[in-house]
Chains A and B, each alone.
Chain A
């Protein structure tokens, strides 16, 4: 299906495109954007005849191969207002009318202050100078090819040396040009009218935005500051906060966010950037709170959601660092019952005399869910030591179990603190205590990996007498709990009593 007769024509010859290429099958598979452009140009020129369909086909193909091609630029007529949709037109008119009314007010205010001098802030008049431009004539005379005496004197080596020297000098000068002096200048700005101040502030803010978009954050920062100096505005503060964030000046960013929030307490951007700044400063928990506030205002913002997710994970990892990870283990590993879940025996306690750091480093599987360093008066560690426990736990194999693996990076066990490792989840009371005393020790309430029924407070509704530590009331409470097949009440009782007494055998 050759569409063209072979006729030597200027354009097709100039581009040297074989005539076979003017064909649907070739154009369809052609990936060379340049050639397609040439084909389109030849077809459009009409020198080879008019092939409207093929031209369109080639253009479409070009749009696929090279969408930015200049040949595809089409000038569309300017849309007249009458041809717009009615509501679109109304919106434009409304917008414009609104702007006209606001700007007219400013205009009137400015006219009122017309011809008033703004004070001696203007720099001096420049010293009058005149620069006469010489026509740079080539001063180097060319040596005529017949001028043999001159050629005799001509030494190519010195000429080359001269050129090299000149080039060297050029480079040296370029390198030695003094960097722009960065002396600090203080500008005093006086504005006669509010309008002028607002105008200047807005202008400076816009300039800041432009630098920001171009990636020049330092310059952007300068202009935002200028804008704030002229007239403080919410946008300038939030923008400067962002610029500070990009420059990793988190403290300053935080200050800016606070300033913005002082202007508008529930500003989404300000909250979001505050969260980022707090994140940068390492205050993850506050950051997470702030971002939750931001999400309340604008739940659909992706960045906010991402940030919230990140904090959730981070807080998880913070907890992980201070706590133990609960993991499912396979059969060949040690399996221990987890109390707090249904149909389980009360936990085993094993005293561990070695300090926790060693255990942590050993990376063994231990049955331990929370390590609490809150109680300063607990001076011993209670750990369900796996090596000892596994034989006893064999009978519980059929129950749903999980074990806890101590995370390897458990570096936050500071040896100077007294620690107490308790079996499984603490009661809520001690949980709160733990949180209050040491913020970083967090209890993960839902340990999905632990399996079994989730631990809830309602399950163990037992009234503990205040003197539970006395043998009599302990026994009384213990016996009253006998009706509970899940042993949860027992667990509660055991949790509530002072462990030291068990350890010391005083009970």
Chain B
């Protein structure tokens, strides 16, 4: 009986493609998504698919010179819905999907492939200016405002001459008013750093020992609540970043799953305690974070420290035999999602009974 109450992951439709998909993203407020990738000849490609009750249908595509690595709609308003992409040659471009001959915005400041991109404040107002963060192989994390040409509004990098560590993941957070904002960055050596954009400092850093493949705050536009980091060697770290203790730091809970690299962690837009992780063995894990009875305790000196909760595995499913490299929840329809795997297939998934949690 209990198993009937658990969320089920149903594969609605799958579509084989003739190129490598690096990222998939829903277009906000529509029944369409984009797949971002590159062909074997090195050209980048972006395709738009629309879904219906029965299947999916390609509605548009365009190609450019280099493989697209990652993309986001989060820095664009609902009216515009511009896609910001990072590509293999280190270019950040912002595209209008309907007039895609030339990008709306373009920079070439990164010297290596842009591994990760994240946007903030596109839709929600009252939480600062729309910005885009990029993390690159050259070790730099840059924050962009598309109203400012050529130079990033913030840049975190190693000093000249020394090669920084490869940045694999970036995530915005803590953007609950017009001033506050942080960007978290994960590096290939396992370093996790949270940069405070308000006073341009390193707010917190920790080494997780394995390269951080994916990072996400549970919500961007609330005071920092939780941060999920997934790493190589099948580890999921979930930090309670609400309370910081000067010596203990943030409380954390660690889980092992997938038996491989965990490629991606994505929080459900309708419920921040639920997130999906995707693994290198083609498996999907649906997690729920349960808060402890008391989130904050005081130590002997009267300093507050956080108490970690626990992660509950809601569902564990295998979808493919290749790594699932990207996953995106539909922002409007709870339970609808799309994912891409290295078997050159995109799949639309429906997760049921999420409203019960």
Interface residues, chain A, CB within 8 Å of chain B? 70, 73-81, 84, 92-94, 96-97, 99-100, 103-104, 106-107, 110, 113-116, 118, 121-135, 170-171, 173-175, 185, 187, 189, 192-193, 195-196, 199-200, 203, 206-207, 209-211, 213-215, 219, 226
Contacts and interface: CB of A to CB of B under 8 A. Distances in A.
Interface in B41-80: 51-54, 77-80
Given A78-B317, A78-B318, A175 B302 contact: yes
Q: Which 9 A-B pairs have the closest CB atoms?
A: A97-B53, A126-B153, A187-B126, A107-B30, A93-B53, A174-B246, A100-B31, A130-B155, A123-B129
21 contacts: A70-B256, A75-B317, A75-B318, A76-B316, A92-B10, A96-B51, A97-B52, A99-B336, A103-B333, A104-B31, A107-B30, A127-B153, A130-B154, A131-B155, A170-B246, A175-B303, A193-B78, A193-B79, A195-B78, A199-B123, A211-B222
Interface stretch (B86-94, B110-118, B197-205): B197-205
Given A73-B316, A114-B79, A203-B124, A80 B158 contact: no
A118 B273 CA distance: 33
A76 B285 CA distance: 10
Contacts of B303: 171, 174-175
A203 B222 CA distance: 12
> A93, A103, A226: which has the most chain B beta carbons within 10 Å?
A103
Nearest to A124: B129
B135 to A, nearest CB: 13
B29 A75 contact: no
A100 B10 contact: no
B133 to A, nearest CB: 12
B270 interface: yes
> A132, A133, A170, A226: which has the most chain B beta carbons within 10 Å?
A133
Interface string B1-34: 0000000111111000000000000000111100
B246 A73 contact: no
A78 B349 contact: yes
B102 interface: no
A499 to B, nearest CB: 62
A132 B246 contact: no
Given A77-B318, A97-B52, A100-B51, A131 B222 contact: no
A99 B148 contact: no
Nearest to A223: B222
A210 B128 contact: no
Contacts of B148: 125, 128
A269 to B, nearest CB: 16
Contact of B147 (A81, A125, A213): A125
Contact of A195 (B29, B53, B178, B283): B29
